[in-house]
Structure 1
Amino acid sequence: MNIKQLKAFTEVATNLSFVEAATKLHLSQPALSLSIRNLEESLGGKLLSRTTRSLVLTQEGKALLPVAKNILNQIDAAEREMKKRFSLELGHTSIAAMPSFAASVLPKIIKRFHSKYPHIKLSVEDVLSDTVIDMVSDDLVELGISFEPKHNSDLVFHPLYKDQFIVVLPPSHPLTQSHTISWDELLKFELITLQSPSSVRELIEETLSQHNMTLNPAFDAHQLATVIRMVRDSLGVAIVPALCKAQALEAGVVCRDINSPSIARRVGVISKPITSLSIAAKSMLETIKLYSSELTRQIELK
């Protein structure tokens, strides 16, 4: 039993006429008769009773007709839905982004995506960068925006730009007089960092270790937003990704470049292999990539 046979049977059973059914199906009558005969043989009995004057359904044919109609309706519905999904008139995708990106750039990307694909639903998770990687790896979201993973052969990293870390200072801090600050100067003051484990904290510690320096924070917090607020309240100074610059300036702190050493890390989109992504996710990925040059300008990394 196949779809073509069910369509043939349904048309014949509905019209009780091989002539009308053949016309609607654009088949010859012999081809239609053969299709019905093959269906009956596959099921093991007659579905239609033919005489020289009439055509009627057998009891088995009457039992099959509503089932066949339901199957064909479901196939039609599935075909319509798939066509809508492939043409992006219907669909859903999900994305996880680290807070600094989610709060600054992601809303602009979503706005652009929604204006082009208004029927695609999007779920957004605002989580720490390490959690972003876990959520993509565990198939909880299709796309993630975070720093480049160090080790994860199952994931694909689509680089967008390099995020240069910056210093955030209370407005009255003496280091605000300098345009660029060295680590030797910075380490003389109380530091506020993210708690361990954190990819940001880990990167800072690794970089300092390579230059024979040690990070000894006075305070640590779970979120970069909290770190920035603590700086604003003059509890210390902090090193944060440049993605946080707009958020930091809005909070009323001062931002400065840092060197000796400088710290930078690539930001990009993390996903499973592209072939496993939905059409909606692929379109979102392309939207983000096209927007990446603007992202660079917005965080003033050019």
Structure 2
Amino acid sequence: MVLELRHLRYLLAVAENGTFTRAAEELHISQPTLSQQIKQLERILGVQLLDRTGRTVRLTDAGEAYVHHARRALRDLAAAERAVHDVHDLTRGHLRLAVTPTFTAYLTGPLAAELHTRHPGITLTLREMTQDRIETGLLADEIDLGIAFTGSHLPGITTDELFTETLTLVTSAHHPAGHDRPLPVGDLAGHQLALLSGDFATRGHIDDYLARHGVSPRIAVEANSVQALTEVVQRTTLATALPDAITHDHPDLVPIPLDPPLPTRTVALLTRTDAYQSAAARAFTRLTHDLVRTRHYTGLGTGTAAGAEADLGRPAP
């Protein structure tokens, strides 16, 4: 009796669903067939992998250990298959990219357009998610590249620094506040603001900044969408705080520096340290550094790579 890949996939399906019924439905096979295949795997290994005595099926200690390695084995096999089919002349290919939400307002569009212009044969799957989800997705081989921020990262994540993102006050071009000099932070007490909601890391940076300087402006609008926020600010006298690069593509928005300035963050490409980098991923990395330089984003832009084997735990983006 020989161990086959289907045995691993079937075991993982049962472990993730908690019942043979749901796992069988997901796998599109009959429940008796699934049960027989799992018992076959247990005979091959000579251990019991599943505890079937409760209302839900649970992994035994041996099962927990085996599933951990089975997941990694299937992930590595999938990466190997992609590597075999990688086309180095970039006439075709596929890239799985994830970005934290604020980048969709100023960086994602130009990057996707540049990728399509240079390499129209490469298809792009683009997802917007929090940084912690990006990192777990990279480690699980669900994502090829992420765009987020440097800082503390999960073990096994490598960062490639791109540029320094500057937060600033952003208003309509018709806002009554003057644009010719930095605005003292104390003056914000007299302004009404429209801000991102608390599930954005950007909002945490802004709140910390305001608290540090003892300023409590009135928050007139909260939004969980950068696009909604920019639409509101363009049409009202409300001000917001966003990356100043957003104003590059919005002529109706202008940045107003604050005194002292809002905090900066270092933007980076994130990858899994030991991941195979496809031709499409390498091409995207090159064009990202090119675009950062041509659009004159501040700070780095030279692409210094640094391995990140830092501790767990960091603010959610």
Q: Please state which band the TM-score falls in when normalised by the shorter chain.
A: 0.5 to 0.7
**Which residue of 2 is the match for residue 292 of structure 1?**
292
The answer as to whether partners of 1:248 and 1:255 remain within 8 angstroms in 2 is: no
**Which residue of 2 is the match for residue 153 of structure 1?**
155
Q: Does 1:217 align with 2:219?
A: yes
Could you tell me how far 1:86 is from its partner in structure 2? Answer: 4.4
The answer as to whether partners of 2:247 and 2:254 remain within 8 angstroms in 1 is: no
Runs of 4+ in 1 over 6 A off after TM superposition: 299-302
Structure 1 residue runs without a partner (length 5+): 1-77
**Which residue of 2 is the match for residue 192 of structure 1?**
194
CA distance in 1, matches of 2:117, 2:205: 37
Q: Please state whether the residue corresponding to 1:203 is helix, strand or coil.
A: helix
The answer as to whether partners of 2:95 and 2:123 remain within 8 angstroms in 1 is: yes
Q: Does 1:277 align with 2:277?
A: yes
Shift in CA distance, 268/84, structure 1 to aligned 2, threshold 3 Å: closer
Structure with the bigger percentage of helix: 1
The answer as to whether partners of 2:176 and 2:237 remain within 8 angstroms in 1 is: no
> Counterpart of 1:113 in structure 2: which amino acid?
L
> Counterpart of 1:208 in structure 2: which amino acid?
L
The structure number with the bigger radius of gyration is 1
CA distance in 2, matches of 1:290, 1:229: 29
Shift in CA distance, 139/149, structure 1 to aligned 2, threshold 3 Å: farther
Could you tell me how far 1:181 is from its partner in structure 2? Answer: 1.3
Provide TM-score, normalisation by structure 2.
Answer: 0.58
Q: Please state whether the residue corresponding to 1:160 is helix, strand or coil.
A: strand
Q: Please state whether the residue corresponding to 2:287 is helix, strand or coil.
A: helix
Q: Does 1:169 align with 2:149?
A: no
Q: Please state whether the residue corresponding to 1:85 is helix, strand or coil.
A: coil
Shift in CA distance, 88/264, structure 1 to aligned 2, threshold 3 Å: same
Provide TM-score, normalisation by structure 1.
Answer: 0.61
Structure 2 residue runs without a partner (length 5+): 1-79, 302-317
**Which residue of 2 is the match for residue 71 of structure 1?**
none
Aligned-CA RMSD value = 3.4
- Aligned to 2:204, which of 202, 205, 208? 202
The answer as to whether partners of 1:182 and 1:261 remain within 8 angstroms in 2 is: no
Residue correspondences, number: 221
Between 229-238 and 125-134, the greater mean CA deviation after superposition: 125-134
Could you tell me how far 1:159 is from its partner in structure 2? Answer: 1.0
Q: Please state whether the residue corresponding to 1:141 is helix, strand or coil.
A: coil
CA distance in 2, matches of 1:274, 1:215: 46
**Which residue of 2 is the match for residue 28 of structure 1?**
none
Q: Deviations over 1:24-79 (max 9, x none)?
A: xxxxxxxxxxxxxxxxxxxxxxxxxxxxxxxxxxxxxxxxxxxxxxxxxxxxxx99
CA distance in 1, matches of 2:161, 2:155: 16
Shift in CA distance, 215/147, structure 1 to aligned 2, threshold 3 Å: farther
Kindly indicate whether structure 1 or structure 2 has the higher relative contact order, using CA contacts under 8 Å at least 6 residues apart. 2
